[in-house]
Amino acid sequence: MSAFLENDPDIKIVKNPEKSLLEKLNVEKWPIWEKEISTFDWYYDDSEVCYILKGKVIVHTKNGDYTIEKGDLVRFKKGLSCTWEILEDIKKHYNFGIDI
């Protein structure tokens, strides 16, 4: 019931974020993760913010599907269970425990 009442989405996507926001977050200093075309289940035991450098993925959640692609700044909510369906090889900067 609490999930139904809250307004915070499982995944927040900022399309074409301002360069100043990326600089403020210091995104270029974050680690990089890469993965080939594949499908796998994932659970976020902490919040994650990532910036997509290349690729395209559909993330399937119980509340809907989210298409994420190059240039997107994305926040995954702590406690989220989902399935990643990588359509194009993905490369992203990532950081745990922060929010946008």
Q: Tens digits of per-residue pLDDT, 10-52?
A: 999 999 999 999 999 999 999 999 999 999 999 999 999 999 9
**What kind of fold does domain 2-96 have according to CATH?**
Jelly Rolls (2.60.120)
Q: Is 26 left (phi over 0), alpha (psi -120 to 50) or beta?
A: left
What is the pLDDT, as a whole number, of residue 9?
A: 86
**Per-residue pLDDT tens digits for 70-90:** 999 999 999 999 999 999 999
pTM of the model: 0.89
Domain range list for the chain: 2-96
Q: Are 80 and 44 in contact (CB under 8 A)?
A: yes
